[in-house]
A and B are shown apart, each in its own frame.
Chain A
Amino acid sequence: MSRANILRYLKQALVASLWLSFLTLPIMVIRVDTVEQTVTWRWMHLAYMAGGSFVLALIWYIMMERRDLSQAKRELETVERDSALMRFLSDPRFARPLMAFGLLVAVAFPWFFSLYQTNILISALIYVVLGLGLNITVGLAGLLDLGYVAFYAVGAYTYALLNHHFHLGFWAVLPLGAVMGAFFGILLGFPVLRLRGDYLAIVTLGFGQIVRLVLENWGSFSYGPSGISNIDRPGLFGISYSVEQATTYMYYIMVVLVLLTIFVTARLKDSRIGRAWLALREDEIACQAMGIDNTRAKLMAFSLGATLAALMGVVFAAKTTFINPASFTFMESAMILAIVVLGGMGSVLGVILGAFLLMLLPEYLRAFSEYRMLIFGATMVLVMVFRPEGLVRAKRKVYKINVEAAG
């Protein structure tokens, strides 16, 4: 980097920082109490803002130039190169042992860590499945579902209500929850799926809100905002066990469900159905012109995503033993979307990484946790601008061709 370049960056960053400081000045600095008619001035915030925005702007401009350069370069090159990390991860010689090691850690985890840690990990695993489910809808089929959490709610309330009224157990409701999810997916999906991308997003957002508002207001059905408590934990052949054992049990259930979900999505990704979803995402008109029934493909993606969400809803209700509509807000949907976007739309490995990053980092960096949603929002913007393919670029299968057979 030449000196002239550095100077230019510094100048740009200075201007940006001045502008942002000016922009945020009243809101960051002034705090009025309109009842007491007092005003608090918090000038230190301005200093933080100026310094912080200067550094961020500097990074922004440097990254922006790199982005434009690499875009220009990509147009000249036809062969795409993966990063060293990606090549490492996709090489079976390293990937296999790595996966085995990961599995070992996952199995041994509750023996070495506290109940608290295990609980956090269960939540993270739930988000892994939710992320993978939304990844089918958004990442593979390109249907931006902003009401995804509604299906999560369907599952949770299915278990909570059946448990509350009829004392049905976890294992009985788990498949039932999945069926309910698929059913609602098709029910809501059918009318909306002919809409174009951005309208679809808004309609699903609307549906998601309607579901939450109904749960809040229809007290005689859902017990309103106060929710349902004392939901049973998963049963184990009628044996009674302590909370600690229950958590460990729940943890292993989640590990199995995660593995199952990974298996299912990985297989679907490179199947006839997965290819149809991808084609749908890339170009709807060409997709249909090549003989794919768009509505069918969309419905499958939408309801499969919904099924996984509802499954997790059942698990969530059993894990927390208490649910209310406040767990199913738009922010929850946005969080799952952020996981998929950060991880890499369409990439299974990426979504798993994204879920762990976004769920575990705020847990372990306590100072961080207040800024959790702020960072989620910023992540979505930054990923879209600088790395739309996410952490891990989704890769397509390389087919080895048997030339003799193909003639």
Chain B
Amino acid sequence: MAQEMTNQNAAQAVQPVLSVRNVGMNFGGLRALSEVNLDVLPGEVVALIGPNGAGKTTFFNCITGIYTPSEGEVTAYPKNGKPKRINGMRTNLVCELGMARTFQNIRLFPSMTALENVMIGRHCRTKTGILGAVLRGPGTRREEQEVVDKSFEMLTKVGLEKLANEYSRNLPYGAQRRLEIARALATEPFLLLLDEPAAGMNPQETEELKQMVIRIREEFKVSVLLIEHDMKMVMSLSDRIYVMEYGRIISTGTPKEVSEDPQVIRAYLGEDSDA
């Protein structure tokens, strides 16, 4: 819906929320990423697509501190803060800064309830310590109540309010994916990183997910960077798309531009057609 608003020219004028410059990543002799440049602008939905094994998840791991990039600069621009270089920053600090992610192979906390999973997201925005937790004074109680309320609100946003007290291991697959998004949202991010959120969903669930992401973006004024294989969803949801192959960005632009790029067509239909 907001596709026309942002285009390449605007990218230079507005300050981005995330800027990635010449990032490369080596594992021993293996070059997993090289010279990756990528920007996410405020309020944008940006998709990162590419064949399996292109390095998309590695890229996510590089910008969230799970790996330290071998070279290049990753800079985040928090809402009211100074730009911050986040190469190799500890993962929890990246999250605290305001970049929250989901995982390709769902990583919930199985023996905690759905609500508690979201409450974990509130951890870095609250501060009760051991003593406070034991004494449970008025301050702690207020904070705890706020955590519950906020977390429940997030569950409502992803449509899981009825399953709040269910153990997350017992939730259906689609619900688990949405719960991961709620958990990430609870950390109050300015940038939401979604790693294949629609994987394993049927077309109807995928459509609902898409509507949900649009709603969330509007309501929370959050930017979204997503990795996705479902082309229908990517094309209709994203403002801009980056295409990655063999660890390099081979094409970038609006969905229309990208889908007409011969490089992209070759990457998808040529040697690698498994996407």
Q: Do chains A and B touch in the complex (CB under 8 A)?
A: yes
Instruction: Give the contacts of A233-280 with B (CB-CB under 8 A).
Output: 263-264, 267-268, 271-276, 278-279
| Whole-angstrom CA separation of A289 from B193 in the bound complex | 11
Residues of B within 8 A of A (CB): 64, 66, 90-92, 95-96, 100-101, 103, 107-113, 115-116, 119-121, 123-124, 126, 128-130, 133-134, 136, 140, 143-144, 147-149, 152-153, 156, 161, 164-167, 170-172, 183-184, 187
Q: Is the CB of A268 within 8 A of B183?
A: no
Q: Is the CB of B130 within 8 A of A268?
A: yes
Q: Which 5 A-B pairs have the closest CB atoms?
A: A291-B124, A271-B133, A291-B95, A286-B107, A282-B109
Q: Is the CB of A272 within 8 A of B123?
A: yes
Q: Is the CB of A273 within 8 A of B130?
A: yes
* Chain B positions within 8 Å of A79 at CB level: 170
- Given contacts A80-B167, A278-B111, A396-B167, are A405 and B123 in contact (CB under 8 A)? no
Residue of B nearest to A296 (CB): B92
Instruction: Give the contacts of A357-386 with B (CB-CB under 8 A).
Output: none
One digit per residue, 1 when the CB lies within 8 angstroms of any chain B CB and 0 when it does not, for chain A 375-407 equals 000000000000000000010111101100111
| Whole-angstrom CA separation of A292 from B153 in the bound complex | 21
- Given contacts A272-B128, A275-B112, A279-B109, are A289 and B91 in contact (CB under 8 A)? yes
| Whole-angstrom CA separation of A292 from B136 in the bound complex | 21
| Whole-angstrom CA separation of A289 from B130 in the bound complex | 22
User: Can you list 7 A-B pairs with a CB-CB distance of less than 8 A?
Assistant: A271-B128, A282-B108, A283-B109, A285-B66, A286-B108, A290-B124, A292-B124
Residues of A within 8 A of B (CB): 78-80, 263-264, 267-268, 271-276, 278-279, 282-283, 285-294, 300, 304, 394, 396-399, 401-402, 405-407
Residue of A nearest to B91 (CB): A288
Q: Is the CB of B110 within 8 A of A289?
A: no
| Whole-angstrom CA separation of A232 from B129 in the bound complex | 36
Residue of A nearest to B171 (CB): A78
| Whole-angstrom CA separation of A175 from B152 in the bound complex | 41
| Whole-angstrom CA separation of A398 from B147 in the bound complex | 14
Please classify the interface of chain A as helix (H, G, I), strand (E, B), loop, or mixed, using the class held by over half of its residues.
Answer: helix
Which of B92, B103, B110, B184 is packed against the most chain A CB atoms within 10 Å?
Answer: B92
Residue of B nearest to A291 (CB): B124
Looking at the complex, which one of B101, B115, B134, B147 makes contact with A268 (CB distance below 8 Å)?
Answer: B134
Q: Is the CB of B109 within 8 A of A399?
A: no
- Given contacts A268-B133, A273-B129, are A290 and B103 in contact (CB under 8 A)? no
Q: Is the CB of A275 within 8 A of B116?
A: yes
| Whole-angstrom CA separation of A402 from B148 in the bound complex | 9
Q: How near does chain B come to A56, taking the closest CB pair, in angstroms?
A: 31
Looking at the complex, which one of A274, A282, A288 makes contact with B133 (CB distance below 8 Å)?
Answer: A274
- Given contacts A272-B128, A286-B103, A286-B108, are A291 and B123 in contact (CB under 8 A)? yes
| Whole-angstrom CA separation of A263 from B135 in the bound complex | 10
* Chain A positions within 8 Å of B130 at CB level: 268, 273, 300, 304
Q: Is the CB of B149 within 8 A of A267?
A: no
Q: Is the CB of B144 within 8 A of A271?
A: yes
Looking at the complex, which one of A275, A300, A396 makes contact with B123 (CB distance below 8 Å)?
Answer: A275
Looking at the complex, which one of B134, B140, B148 makes contact with A399 (CB distance below 8 Å)?
Answer: B148
| Whole-angstrom CA separation of A304 from B170 in the bound complex | 32
Q: Is the CB of B156 within 8 A of A291?
A: no
| Whole-angstrom CA separation of A266 from B140 in the bound complex | 16
